[in-house]
Amino acid sequence: MTEQPESAAFRYLNLLVALICAALLGYAYWLQYTQFLDPCPLCIFQRGAFFALGLLTLVAALHNPGRRGRTIYALLGGFFAALGTAIASRHVWLQNLPPDQVPECGPGLDYMLRTFPLSRAIRETLTGSGECASVDWIFAGLSMPWWTLFWFVALGTLVLTIGLRRSPN
């Protein structure tokens, strides 16, 4: 029995999204451990969103569900991409504040997770701090949060498009 063309496209495109997420995470870890570019708390949350999106799309590619399952995977993928987009947008906003409006540096994420209740640690992290406002890496004129914002929008659009597409029959 041969695979339907829309089923094959769904699998391959989800696998592509998973590979892109893995490559982006690999590059982030390479920067951290070989270039000593420590991630700020917002960067770590963005990594979490890439991980969730990549894992979900890998499972979707391996599962190869029917129409209803594709819709569920697409909506979950869209949620993770939207979450990453919101975090990256906040990060971009912090980086573009005038210097006198940048919040003070706060404690690290590991400290907050150890000492604060989880809800407060998440709230404090999403508020951002001075370390999140510094620009330590630029490629083609854009900082890393700009690039992660681009990738979340692009991958989220792709996941939603392939998962919500109606078959021609």
Collapsing DSSP to helix, strand or coil, 106 comes out as coil
Query: Is 88 part of any domain?
Result: yes
Residue 88's alpha-carbon distances to 15, 55, 65, 97, 167, in angstroms, are: 23, 19, 30, 14, 33
pLDDT score of 41 more than 70: yes
Q: State how many domains the chain has.
A: 1
Mean of the pLDDT values across residues 28-42? Answer: 91
- Mean of pLDDT over the chain: 87
> pLDDT tens digits for 96-143?
888 777 666 666 667 777 887 878 777 777 776 666 777 888 889 989
CATH, residue 95: 1.20.1550.10
Give the pLDDT of residue 1.
47
Domain span at residue 13 reads 5-164
Query: Is 117 part of any domain?
Result: yes
